[in-house]
Amino acid sequence: MIPTEDASARKREIEDKLKQEQETLSFIRESLEKSDQLTKGMVSILSSFESRLMQLENSIIPVHKQTENLQRLQENVDQTLSCLDHVISYYHVDMEVQEDVTLEHLPEAVLQDIICISAWLLEYGRNQDFMNVYFQVRSSQLDRSIKGLKEHFRKNSATSALHSPAVQTKRKETPTKKPPKRPGKDDVVDIEIDSYIHCISAFVKLAQSEYALLTEIIPENHQKMIFDSLIQEALDNLMLEGDNIVSAARRAIMRHDYSAVLTIFPILRHLKQTKPDFDATLQGTAASTKNKLPALIPSMESIGAKALEEFADSIKNDPDKEYNMPKDGTVHELTSNAILFLQQLLDFQETAGAMLASQESSSSASSYSSEFSRKLLSTYIYKVLGNLQLNLSNKAKVYEDPALRAVFLHNNYNYILKSLEKSELIQLVAVTHKKVEGSYRELIEQEIQNYQRSWLRVTEHLTERNIPAFQPGTKLKDKERQIIKDKFKGFNDGLEELCKIQQGWAVPDKEQRDAIRQAQKRVVSEAYRAFLQCANISFTKNPEKYHRYSAEQVEEMIDKLFDTSA
């Protein structure tokens, strides 16, 4: 038998284990209940999430479709811009921008594609975006095209004889009293002028082309506005360069370099020639846009008229009397410069006349007839010539020798007349002063006579006055012999002195030089021969001492006048 105590202990042990098992079972039941509740909650959450996910999907699908549409729109815009940029490759601009220049647009198939894309963008309400992009791209391309043309022209002009159609006659050597400019500077200026003239023509042609293309792509009610915006950058750059040219001309006037102002003449003429096409091309744009480039016309006319006025005054008041005067009496630099300046005005008669007309009244110079402008230019040239004549007369007083003074004035007057006759200046001056040619011939003849007076001190010794009357075989008195000796000596010394001095003088015109020599030979030779006949008597034991020259030798000496190489 198991002891009672052991049995009791065993029983308690079993009861404790049972109790533990019951507690474990109870815990498991509670856990299962909680698990069921959690499961139900999770199922509920998943059901709710599934419902919400379906709602989200229903919302996302339309957004996704819209996104795809937007992506296609973006791709279409990019393709449109690419096609528009393709226009560049179809531009063909004659680099000399002649009047018959033509621009090739897009091939018809490409253009039709762009038109379709434009219509599609308009239909889906993207018109403002694509039009803004369009004018920005085309504006930049227009400006680059003109800058590229300018650079191309400059490079080619530096090594070739390209010539602007607006400048029908190349500018001649610049007239100036100042030291010659560094070699090549005038050529650089010519290139800049021609380059700007070409860019003006290029702008008009390219703007016309842009507008023609724009009308195919941009809605009609937006065309003028987009075109106005499109041309602004290129137009502003042209204006800036034009203003710089005007400013440079104004500075040149301040330093009395009137030749530099000539740069605006071909530009001004071309602006006037281009203005009708410019106005027609920009018709419908804002007034501020249409008036930009034409605003240069009155500005250039004003500065040009000021230069002409001050140039005429400078010819009259040139103070150079003692310095830079030709020692040989040849043509003064002022004369050649003045004539050269006037000759250059012939290339721009209408432009120069309009400048002068603009100063006559506050109204536009274009309101004046071409005949009136021509008369104003004729009067202006005559005024310059009058100022030049007065200045030359004052300068001639520097010469102490009246004969050299006469040679100087003769050379200058003859140079002026010959220059007038070789150009259209004589006809232009004759519009208002018909006797100008005759006036200069009288002045030239007058100075020849003044020069010939210098020989009176030679020929006065050859007169028959005081020569003693004698009979054959009659012996002369000492006083009578001395008179003849003095006459020979006075003639010889005067002849030698004049020939020595006047040999270093200059008469550049060969025809005039020969005529003066011939006239002087005739006068002196005839007087000398007559004197030799009268003095053909015995008056000295050494006749060779006094009778140094034969008549032929005297003529040979006069033939060497105005010849430094003799």
Three-class secondary structure assignment of 82-133: HHHHHHHHHCCCCCCCCCCCCCCCCCHHHHHHHHHHHHHHHHCCCHHHHHHH
- Greater model confidence, 183 or 276: 276
In terms of residues, how long is the chain? Answer: 566
pLDDT tens column, 424-475: 899 999 999 999 999 999 999 999 999 999 999 999 988 866 666 665 556 7
Please tell me the predicted confidence (pLDDT) of residue 176.
Answer: 37
Residue 124 has φ and ψ, to the nearest 5°, of -100, 20
Residue type present at position 496:
E
Centroid of chain to Cα 486: 68
pLDDT tens column, 69-117: 656 655 655 565 555 454 434 343 333 333 333 455 567 777 777 778 7
Please tell me the predicted confidence (pLDDT) of residue 29.
Answer: 77
- Of all residues in the chain, the percent with pLDDT exceeding 90 is 44
Task: Give the integer Cα–Cα distance in Å for 304 and 262.
Answer: 8
Please tell me the predicted confidence (pLDDT) of residue 170.
Answer: 41
Task: Give the integer Cα–Cα distance in Å for 151 and 545.
Answer: 79
- Greater model confidence, 270 or 162: 270
Q: How confident is the model at residue 304 (pLDDT cuts 50, 70, 90)?
A: very high
Task: Give the integer Cα–Cα distance in Å for 453 and 527.
Answer: 15
Query: Which of the residue ranges 210-224, 397-411, 508-522 would you say has the lowest mean pLDDT?
Result: 210-224
| Two tokens, residue 545 | 């001492």
Please tell me the predicted confidence (pLDDT) of residue 83.
Answer: 52
Residue type present at position 427:
Q
Please tell me the predicted confidence (pLDDT) of residue 87.
Answer: 43
Q: From residue 158, give the alpha-carbon distance in Å to each of 79, 162, 184.
A: 41, 9, 10
Residue type present at position 213:
L
Task: Give the integer Cα–Cα distance in Å for 157 and 165.
Answer: 14
Q: Are 388 and 334 in contact (CB under 8 A)?
A: yes
Residue with tokens 């001309």: 249
pTM reported for the whole predicted model: 0.71
pLDDT tens column, 405-426: 999 999 999 999 999 999 889 9
Summarize the confidence of residues 131-140 as an average pLDDT.
85
| Two tokens, residue 536 | 């053909």
Q: Count the Cβ atoms, other than its own, within 10 Å of residue 255.
A: 9
Please tell me the predicted confidence (pLDDT) of residue 159.
Answer: 54
The answer to whether residue 186 scores a pLDDT higher than 70 is no
Q: Count the Cβ atoms, other than its own, within 10 Å of residue 228.
A: 18
Q: How confident is the model at residue 17 (pLDDT cuts 50, 70, 90)?
A: confident
Task: Give the integer Cα–Cα distance in Å for 429 and 134.
Answer: 56
The answer to whether residue 153 scores a pLDDT higher than 60 is yes
Please tell me the predicted confidence (pLDDT) of residue 364.
Answer: 46
| Two tokens, residue 52 | 């919400």
Task: Output b/e per residue, 139-158; b: 16+ Cβ within 10 A.
Answer: bebbbebbeebbeebeeebe
Task: Give the integer Cα–Cα distance in Å for 537 and 177.
Answer: 60
Task: Give the integer Cα–Cα distance in Å for 494 and 503.
Answer: 14
Q: Are 93 and 101 in contact (CB under 8 A)?
A: yes
Residue 457 has φ and ψ, to the nearest 5°, of -70, -15
The answer to whether residue 384 scores a pLDDT higher than 80 is yes
pLDDT tens column, 166-183: 444 443 433 333 433 333
Please tell me the predicted confidence (pLDDT) of residue 458.
Answer: 92
Q: How confident is the model at residue 320 (pLDDT cuts 50, 70, 90)?
A: low
Query: Which of the residue ranges 167-181, 340-354, 544-558 would you say has the lowest mean pLDDT?
Result: 167-181
The answer to whether residue 566 scores a pLDDT higher than 60 is no
Query: Which of the residue ranges 131-140, 292-301, 538-547 would you say has the lowest mean pLDDT?
Result: 538-547
Phi-psi region of 479 (alpha: psi -120 to 50; beta: other; left: phi over 0): alpha
Please tell me the predicted confidence (pLDDT) of residue 249.
Answer: 92
Q: What DSSP assignment string belongs to 208-229? A: HHHHHHHHHHS-HHHHHHHHHH
pLDDT tens column, 188-241: 677 888 889 999 999 999 999 989 888 888 888 888 999 999 999 999 999 999
- Greater model confidence, 60 or 408: 408
The answer to whether residue 25 scores a pLDDT higher than 90 is no
Instruction: Give the three-state DSSP class for 67.
Output: helix
Question: Crossing angle, helix 4-85 and helix 127-157, to 10 degrees?
Answer: 50
Task: Give the integer Cα–Cα distance in Å for 543 and 527.
Answer: 19
Q: Count the Cβ atoms, other than its own, within 10 Å of residue 474.
A: 11
Summarize the confidence of residues 111-126 as an average pLDDT.
72
Instruction: Give the three-state DSSP class for 232.
Output: helix
Sequence-ordered alpha helix ranges (H) in 347-369 = 349-360
Residue with tokens 């001050």: 310
What is the three-state SS of 330-345? CCCHHHHHHHHHHHHH
